[in-house]
Amino acid sequence: MLLIKGSNEVKKAISFLKNSRKTIGFVPTMGALHNGHISLIKQSKAETDITLCSIFINPLQFNNEIDLNTYPIKIENDIEMLINEGVDLLFLPDKSEIYPENYKPIDFSFDGLDLIYEGKLRPGHFMGVANVLKIFFEIIEPNYAYFGQKDYQQTLIVRKLIELLKIPIDIKVCEIVREETGLAMSSRNVRLNETNRSNSGFLFKILNELKEDLNNISVEEAIELAKSKVALNAEASCEYLDVLNRDNLEKWEEGYIKNQSIILSAVKYGNVRLLDNILI
Ligand code: PAF
């Protein structure tokens, strides 16, 4: 695996590969890799000639200083995992490589999609994600870019970004990978204490039960029932739990076709935010 820190070196390598008609799959990450990331890498390896992975903890997308300062860093372990997976290129830039001094973030317009759910709870988060991805996309010019369904709202924002930038990148959304308990894999799961980690499957179970309940009771009743089940867990508090149109995250209304919906949730468990969703 080639490890590159400079964007000009990445551009040179990519231009050489593109001249040789190689397709490029891009897996952006913030490191602390787990099997969720590995599934994106495996899909890219299966679908493209060259897989490039980036590791960059993007300060612009953190609305909370403590979250940024405690974000897990495991760079040596990450590099070993990427080598084992046969990743071709690792882009590992410093902050100054991505954001030159006086960098002015672009204020994209996502028609309000960046201001609801995760965007409402983490003001500025999606602007930070969009800015860093624009920079990465311009350096790497991938044919495909791989994202996990766990961060479902992010995948919609990325699709809108691609439309706004008018760049021909095919966005691939890969299924959620889960721990044995059912907990959706996330780099932040290491912050759960042992007891909470082993009990953390409750959210996935509740979402599945909600999906079943939609066949028998009204959407509003099913959502309230699911929220009351979350509340039975001493350390859990529901931030949002909704049944939404999966294309735009508008509220589910009578008349929507159920199989175009998504159950979207965020639950604070101890000091960790768990994000999860199920497509209906
Ligand atoms: O999903 C993430 O890990 C980040 O939001 C991403 C896409 C790497 C951008 O920093």
Contacts of 216 (CB under 8 A, 6+ apart): none
Q: Is the pLDDT of residue 34 over 70?
A: yes
**Distance, CA 219 to ligand 1 centroid (Å)?**
32
Pocket test for ligand 1, best of 151, 153, 187 (most atoms within 8 A of CB): 151
Superfamily of domain 187-279: Pantoate-beta-alanine ligase, C-terminal domain (3.30.1300.10)
Mean of all residue pLDDT scores within the chain: 96
- Summarize pLDDT for 84-94 with one digit per residue, the tens: 999 999 999 99
Res. 256 pLDDT band, cuts 50 70 90: low
Looking at the DSSP bridge assignments, the partners of residue 69 are none
What percent of the chain has pLDDT above 90?
A: 95
227-250: per-residue pLDDT in tens? 999 999 999 999 999 999 999 999
Question: Of 250, 252, 248, nearest to 219 (Cα)?
Answer: 252
- For ligand 1, atom 7, which residue shows the shortest CA distance? 28
Cα of 28 from ligand 1 centre, angstroms: 6
CA dist 69 and 66 (Å) reads 5
Q: Looking at the predicted structure, is the pLDDT value of residue 163 above 70?
A: yes
Is 243:261 a contact under the CB 8 Å cutoff?
A: yes
- Taking the centre of ligand 1 as the mean of its atom positions, its distance from the CA of residue 56, in whole angstroms, is 8
CATH assignment, 2-174: 3.40.50.620
**Would the CATH topology of 2-174 be identical to that of 187-279?**
no
Question: Among residues 119, 109, 190, 191, which one has the least CA distance to residue 152?
Answer: 119
Domains in the chain: boundaries: 2-174, 187-279
Residue 258 in this model has a pLDDT that exceeds 70: no
